[in-house]
C-alpha cells in the first residue's frame, strides 16, 4: 500500500502514452523496463526509510547505558529486521532497479529479454515486504535472532519466523527471476558491434552479479527450507536432539551469504566505475583488468564462507585456508581501487554530487576493506567476533560502499531518467552531511569493538557510554540528512532545469545519445556500436 502512494507521486509526471493504461493499472501491468526500474527504485527507497527508522530506534536505545525505550526482545527485533530489510528490501532492489533502467539503455536493447517476467519479479517484492513488516504485529513480535537466522534460536520463535521464511523465499524467487532476465538481456540483446569487452563496466558487473545470484539464491532457499521443515515437519537438519547439527546451518547459510555480500557491492563497483571516468574526463584506467578483477572476486567469494565462523571450532588447517583465501580477495579489490585512483590521475576533475559520492565511496569502501582484512586474521577475528568492530566494518562496506554508490548513481542518472537537473546545491549539502554523519556514526564503533562491546545488545557497560552517545548523535544526523535526499529526488522528478541529452560532458555511454527522459520505447532500431 505504501508503494502505491509513492507511485502516485511519480505517476503524474511521467509521459503518458496513449496505448498504456492509466494510473495504478499502468504500473501494475507495466512490462516496460523503465517503469519497472522506477518501481524497484521507489520500493527500495521506501524500504530504506523503513529500515532506517528502525536504525534510529536502535541508536535511541543505545544513546545511553541502561534500558530506555525497549525491552531486550524488542531491541533484538529491531536489529534483526533492520539488517534483513536493508539487505533484501533496500540495497538489492535498488541495484536491480539500476539494472532495469540502465542495462537496456547501455547495451542498446529495446527492453529486457523477458518483460512479463520482469513485471512479476518486481510485484513479488511488495508482497514479500508487506509480509516481513507485518511480522511486527503478530503474536510474539518479529524475528529477533539476527538477520542470519541461526538455529537453534530460530527454531524457538513464534509465527513470525514462519512468515519471514516465506517472505525470504519470495524475495529469493524475485531475485532469481531478475537475474535470469539480466543475464539473457546482456548475452542476447546487445546492439550490433557491442562485443562483451566493449560493454560498459556497469553492465559487466551486473552480468557477473546475476550469475552469482543464480548460483547462491537457491542455496539460501535450501537453508531456509530446512529451517521450515525443522520447525514444522519434524525433520532434524539442525536439531541436535534429533542428530542434526546447528553449525551446518551456518555453513549452508554462509555459502550463500558471502557471495551475497559481493552481490551487493559488485554493481556498486560498476556504478562508480561509470561515474569516475565521466567527471575525470578520462577513459577508465585498466578496463580489461577491471573485468577480470570483478570475475575473480566473484569466483573467490565461493571459497571464503567459513571466515564468518572462525569461532565455531574449526581445525587449524581450515582456519588457515579460509584466512588466506579471504586475504586473497584483497588483490583483485586492490586492483580495482588502484584503477580508480589511476583514472583520476591527471584528469580534469569537477566535483558534482555524483562525483563527490563516488570519491567518498573509493575512500570509505577502502577503509571498510581494510577492517575486513583485519577481521580475516584468525587470532584477531576470535577476539573481535560479534563485536562492534564487525558492525563498523560492514557498515563501511554496505553504507559507504553500496548505499553511497547507489546515491551516486541516482544523482548521476536522475537527469536522464526525469529530464530535469536535480538541485546541485542541495545535492552537495546532502553529500557532505551524509559523509560526515556517517563517519561520526560508524567510526567510533571501531573503538567500541576493539574495547570489547558486543553487538546485538540493548544495554552496555559504562565505559562504552561516550562513544555510543557520539555514534547516536551521528546516526540521527545521518537519518535526518536522508530526508533531504528524498526531497531532492521528488523535487527533481517534479521539475527543474531541463537536462538536455547529455548533461555530463564526459559521459560517453549509449544512454546519453537518447533524449532526457528517454522515449518510452527506446532503441527500437538498435544503435550501431563501432
Q: Which residues bind another protein (CB under 8 A)?
A: 110, 113-114, 156, 176, 180, 183-184, 187-189, 214-223, 226, 234, 236-237, 240-243, 245, 247-248, 251-252, 255, 313-315, 524-526
User: In terms of CB distance, is 189 or 335 closer to another protein?
Assistant: 189
Nearest approach in angstroms of CB 156 to another protein is 8
Please, are residues 95 and 406 in contact by the beta-carbon 8 Å criterion? yes
Residues 6+ positions from 275 with CB-CB distance below 8 Å: 354, 355, 357, 358, 408, 409, 412
Residues carrying an active site annotation: 82, 111, 147, 174-175, 258, 260, 262, 273, 307-308, 333, 336, 455
SS3 501: coil
Nearest approach in angstroms of CB 31 to another protein is 15
C-alpha cell at 322: 579460509
Residues 6+ positions from 385 with CB-CB distance below 8 Å: 310, 311
Residue 430: name the closest of 413, 408, 445 by CA. Answer: 408
Nearest approach in angstroms of CB 529 to another protein is 15
User: In terms of CB distance, is 139 or 243 closer to another protein?
Assistant: 243
User: In terms of CB distance, is 318 or 454 closer to another protein?
Assistant: 318
User: In terms of CB distance, is 235 or 289 closer to another protein?
Assistant: 235
Alpha-carbon distance 153 to 215, whole Å?
Answer: 27
Alpha-carbon distance 354 to 331, whole Å?
Answer: 27
User: In terms of CB distance, is 188 or 195 closer to another protein?
Assistant: 188
Residue 186: name the closest of 200, 174, 172 by CA. Answer: 200
Please, are residues 125 and 164 in contact by the beta-carbon 8 Å criterion? no
Nearest approach in angstroms of CB 84 to another protein is 20
Nearest approach in angstroms of CB 225 to another protein is 8
Alpha-carbon distance 242 to 395, whole Å?
Answer: 38
User: In terms of CB distance, is 184 or 477 closer to another protein?
Assistant: 184
Residues 6+ positions from 510 with CB-CB distance below 8 Å: 105, 106, 107, 108, 191, 523, 527, 529
Nearest approach in angstroms of CB 344 to another protein is 37
Amino acid at each position: 500500500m505504501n508503494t502505491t502512494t509513492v507511485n502516485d507521486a511519480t505517476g503524474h509526471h511521467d509521459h503518458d502514452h496513449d496505448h498504456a493504461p492509466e494510473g495504478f493499472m499502468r504500473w501494475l501491468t507495466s512490462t516496460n523496463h523503465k517503469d519497472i526500474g522506477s518501481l524497484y527504485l521507489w520500493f527500495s527507497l521506501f524500504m530504506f526509510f523503513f529500515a532506517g527508522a528502525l536504525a534510529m530506534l536502535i541508536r535511541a536505545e543505545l544513546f545511553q547505558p541502561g534500558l530506555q525505550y525497549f525491552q531486550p526482545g524488542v531491541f533484538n527485533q529491531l536489529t534483526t529486521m533492520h539488517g534483513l530489510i536493508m539487505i533484501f528490501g533496500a540495497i538489492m532492489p535498488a541495484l536491480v532497479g539500476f539494472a532495469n533502467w540502465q542495462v537496456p539503455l547501455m547495451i542498446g536493447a529495446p527492453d529486457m529479454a523477458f518483460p512479463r517476467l520482469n513485471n512479476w519479479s518486481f510485484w513479488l517484492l511488495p508482497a514479500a515486504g508487506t509480509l516481513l513488516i507485518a511480522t511486527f504485529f503478530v503474536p510474539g513480535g518479529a524475528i529477533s535472532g539476527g538477520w542470519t537466522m541461526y538455529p537453534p534460536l530460530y527454531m524457538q520463535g513464534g509465527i513470525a519466523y514462519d512468515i519471514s521464511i516465506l517472505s525470504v523465499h519470495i524475495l529469493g524467487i524475485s531475485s532469481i527471476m531478475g537475474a535470469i532476465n539480466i543475464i539473457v538481456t546482456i548475452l542476447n540483446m546487445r546492439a550490433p558491434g557491442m562485443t562483451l569487452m566493449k560493454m560498459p563496466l556497469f553492465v559487466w558487473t551486473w552480468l557477473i552479479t546475476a550469475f552469482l545470484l543464480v548460483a547462491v539464491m537457491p542455496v539460501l532457499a535450501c537453508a531456509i527450507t530446512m529451517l521450515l521443515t525443522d520447525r514444522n515437519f519434524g525433520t532434524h537438519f539442525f536439531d541436535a536432539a534429533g542428530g542434526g547439527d546447528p553449525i551446518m546451518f551456518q555453513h549452508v547459510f554462509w555459502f550463500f551469504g558471502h557471495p551475497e555480500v559481493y552481490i551487493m557491492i559488485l554493481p556498486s563497483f560498476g556504478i562508480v566505475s561509470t561515474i569516475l571516468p565521466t567527471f575525470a574526463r578520462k577513459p577508465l584506467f585498466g578496463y580489461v583488468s577491471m573485468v577480470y578483477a570483478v570475475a575473480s572476486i566473484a569466483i573467490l567469494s565461493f571459497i571464503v564462507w567459513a571466515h564468518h565462523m572462525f569461532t565455531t571450532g574449526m581445525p587449524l588447517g581450515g582456519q588457515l585456508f579460509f584466512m588466506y583465501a579471504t586475504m586473497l580477495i584483497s588483490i583483485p579489490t586492490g586492483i580495482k581501487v588502484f584503477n580508480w585512483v589511476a583514472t583520476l590521475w591527471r584528469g580534469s576533475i569537477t566535483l558534482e554530487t555524483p562525483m563527490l559520492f563516488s570519491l567518498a565511496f573509493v575512500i570509505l569502501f577502502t577503509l571498510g576493506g581494510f577492517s575486513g582484512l583485519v577481521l580475516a586474521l584468525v587470532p584477531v577475528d576470535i577476539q573481535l567476533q560479534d563485536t562492534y568492530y564487525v558492525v563498523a566494518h560492514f557498515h563501511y562496506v554496505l553504507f559507504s560502499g553500496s548505499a553511497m554508490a547507489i546515491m551516486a548513481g541516482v544523482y548521476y542518472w536522475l537527469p536522464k531518467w526525469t529530464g530535469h537537473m536535480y538541485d546541485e546545491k542541495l545535492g552537495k549539502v546532502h553529500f557532505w552531511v551524509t559523509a560526515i554523519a556517517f563517519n561520526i556514526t560508524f567510526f567510533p564503533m571501531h573503538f567500541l569493538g576493539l574495547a570489547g562491546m558486543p553487538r546485538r545488545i540493548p544495554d552496555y557497560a559504562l565505559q562504552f557510554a561516550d562513544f555510543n552517545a557520539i555514534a547516536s548523535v551521528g546516526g540521527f544526523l545521518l537519518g535526518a540528512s536522508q530526508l533531504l535526499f528524498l526531497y531532492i529526488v521528488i523535487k527533481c522528478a517534479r521539475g527543474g532545469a531541463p537536462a538536455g541529452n547529455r548533461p555530463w560532458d564526459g559521459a560517453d555511454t549509449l544512454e546519453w545519445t537518447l533524449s532526457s527522459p528517454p522515449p518510452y520505447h527506446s532503441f527500437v532500431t538498435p544503435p550501431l556500436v563501432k
